[in-house]
Structure 1
Amino acid sequence: MKAIIYTKYGPPEVLQLKEVEKPTINDDEVLIKIHATTVTAGDVKLRASEFPFMYWLPSRLMFGLTKPRNKIPGCELAGEIVTVGKKVKNFKTGDHIFGYSGFSFGANAEYISLPEQGVLTKKPINMSFEQAAAVPVGAITALHFLRRSIIQNGQSVLIYGASGSVGTYAIQLAKYFGTEVTAVCSTSNLELVRSLGAIEVVDYTKEDVTKSRKTYDIIFDTVGKTSFSDCKKLLNKDGTYLLSAVWKPSVYFKAFWSNLTSNEKAILGVANMNKEDLNYIKALIEAGKLTSVIDRHYPLDQIAEAHHYVEQGHKKGNVVINIRGNNQL
């Protein structure tokens, strides 16, 4: 099979399309022919090994000290099951699925083997493979943080980084939960975030939202561009500040201290990726409450170009890698 391989950390050019052996499966696994995958901001950081100094060694120990431990990148996928293990009960050959491969990665390839009990479920009937591949990381992350804020009908929510993968899902989920959404993004994305359900929009190139007089019940920074100290004055009493995938120890300390000493709360960290949330997201998609936003499509052999684009930090929603047409059984 064809797969993207990288044997060292570095710029996008370290990614090479190679012919490798098709994976085998254990009794509790399924073999998936991948039709679409993605390039996420996390994929870009991992490929370049761009981790803050405090986390550099732990990250290298986790993902590979001198070179990547898992040589095939990518964690989001949608495709078709071609083989099932003897103990698999909930999937069968021919099922169209989508999911998340986790820290085993391996999704930037024509085939992947995954456990039945992993973050994997049947594809929404109203989505293409390309649309479905762009769902798991952004949608589950947005759901995870909004739930932790105990989001309620009638609240006001500010979403910073509203046009990215997490942000576009956060707008739709916050709207679904009955809140009034204010979205912060650049000029070129204002109409996009309005179309997703934002009642108000703030163009960060023209206005500093942290100087606003309006206050919110929830502030969700999906891109790590704000600070809790700047946003705290924008929170209503008992309000919550959400910050996903933050790395700075000082941010954690300030959040911990505020949680001990004030009514306003800060919730930081990373999402718990799980099958239950993926099924919940699938149900919302099939009910017409949630959709994926795709900025660009690339073929598998142009994945370096996709990484170059994503690392610029201006993608709208998601970047998808199309693999259909390359697959051969």
Structure 2
Amino acid sequence: MTIPTTMKAAIVTAYGGPQVVEIQSRPTPIPRDDQVLVKTIATTVNSGDARMRALDAPAGMKTLMRLAIGITRPRQPIFGTEIAGTIVAIGPKVSRFSIGDHVIAFPDTGLKCHAQYVAVSERKSIVPKPENLSFDEAAGLCFGGTAALHFLRKAGIKPGEHVLVIGASGAVGSAMVQLAGHFGATVTAVASAANADLARGLGANAFIDYAITDYTAVSSAYDVIADTVGATDFRRCLNALKPGGRYLGIAGGIGDMLARPKNGKRPIAGMAAQRPEDVAFLAGLAAKGAYRVVVDQTFAFADITSAHARVDSKHKRGSVVVRVDDWSASSKSMSST
């Protein structure tokens, strides 16, 4: 196929609401020696994209966020951390993939996925797409799943432990419910009442409606509390943790990062590390039907601002997907596939 010299990409022009995202033309990447060029079929707008766009940092971290991604506007204007698509070109030293392969790639903090073409090193987080996943599902495999794996690994999760997952219906939360259960834990999910069936369908053993029950009021109930949405903090959850318990501040602020262990209980916070083997692990589970990617809604690329708005609503279930293969499609959002 002929690869165009320019492509369409979603550009974040400033910090602010969804309206700061514009579709513009950019040069199509040329793959280096060890890179493949992926024609993007689907990508996601996730909570990380929305937080960067709005400069919405956890408590005490806004200045650090500006230093990391840009003082007055994003240094890298093309957001997006994960894609599913087809390889259309390869560098001369590529040996793992061929033109025509369907793949999932996770550049993570490298971003650049909200574009028609993305260049990815074959040594990074890129795997064949499981045949049983649609491209929409495949696009949402990595962001939530790799974050959940990182924090469960840091917590040293053990079979038989009791895990409380706060925000169980989001991309990270839905992954955390499934993966904690996969590793043999008993899982209690916390979300709104409307998401009770979803959480149980993902394997949660029990469900708590946060609007009715104060899940921190119980004493010594949980070995691990995973807060995927920043609803609480280590101090507030101390009483609910068992001796030796761990609090996972997945969306936590600087307070959780600097907090010290107390009474044998400890906080775990900070950014999740990216590991190519985690993407391969998730793809393997999905291929066996042992891991489900929850797709909230699917939007046309031309309507990516609506995808950002959906994430901003705080009511999404799983991943918000954007179809890039037809950027000029109707701006009316499509039902998920």
Of all paired residues, the percent bearing the same amino acid is 39
- 1:250 paired to 2:251: no
Give the AA of the match of 1:8: A
Q: Distance in 2 between matches of 1:187 and 1:177?
A: 26
Q: Note the C-alpha offset of 1:101.
A: 1.6
Q: Distance in 1 between matches of 2:302 and 2:106?
A: 21
The DSSP-based 3-state class of the residue aligned with 1:325 is coil
Q: Note the C-alpha offset of 1:305.
A: 0.9
More helix, by proportion: 1
Trace 1:74-223 onto structure 2 (pairs within 5 A): 74-213=80-219, 215-223=221-229
The DSSP-based 3-state class of the residue aligned with 1:93 is coil
- TM-score where L is the length of structure 2: 0.91
The DSSP-based 3-state class of the residue aligned with 1:225 is coil
Could you tell which deviates more after superposition, 96-105 or 276-285?
Answer: 96-105
Encode CA deviations 1:182-219: one digit per residue, 9 max, x unaligned: 10000110111011111110000111111124601111
Q: Note the C-alpha offset of 1:53.
A: 7.2
The DSSP-based 3-state class of the residue aligned with 1:231 is helix
Q: Note the C-alpha offset of 1:85.
A: 0.2
Match of 1:12 in 2: 18
Match of 2:269 in 1: 268
Q: Distance in 2 between matches of 1:153 and 1:36?
A: 35
Q: Distance in 2 between matches of 1:145 and 1:55?
A: 20
Gaps of 5+ in 2: 1-6, 329-337
Give the AA of the match of 1:276: E
Q: 2:64 aligns with which of 58, 61, 65?
A: 58
Trace 1:277-316 onto structure 2 (pairs within 5 A): 277-316=278-317
Give the AA of the match of 1:265: R
Q: Distance in 1 between matches of 2:80 and 2:168?
A: 23
Give the AA of the match of 2:188: T
Q: Distance in 2 between matches of 1:57 and 1:204?
A: 31
Whether contact under 8 Å (2:108, 2:143) holds in the other structure is no
Aligned Cα root-mean-square deviation (Å): 1.6
Q: Distance in 2 between matches of 1:68 and 1:276?
A: 29
Q: Distance in 2 between matches of 1:103 and 1:219?
A: 26
Gaps of 5+ in 1: none
The DSSP-based 3-state class of the residue aligned with 2:280 is helix
The DSSP-based 3-state class of the residue aligned with 1:25 is coil
The DSSP-based 3-state class of the residue aligned with 2:61 is helix
The DSSP-based 3-state class of the residue aligned with 1:20 is strand
Q: Distance in 2 between matches of 1:104 and 1:196?
A: 30
Q: Note the C-alpha offset of 1:102.
A: 2.6
The DSSP-based 3-state class of the residue aligned with 1:211 is coil
Q: How many residues are aligned here?
A: 322
Q: Distance in 1 between matches of 2:286 and 2:91?
A: 29
Q: Note the C-alpha offset of 1:280.
A: 1.0
Q: Note the C-alpha offset of 1:61.
A: 2.5
The DSSP-based 3-state class of the residue aligned with 1:210 is coil
Give the AA of the match of 1:300: F
Q: Note the C-alpha offset of 1:250.
A: 2.6
Match of 1:27 in 2: 33
Q: Distance in 1 between matches of 2:65 and 2:269?
A: 18
Q: Distance in 2 between matches of 1:53 and 1:153?
A: 33
Q: Note the C-alpha offset of 1:52.
A: 5.2
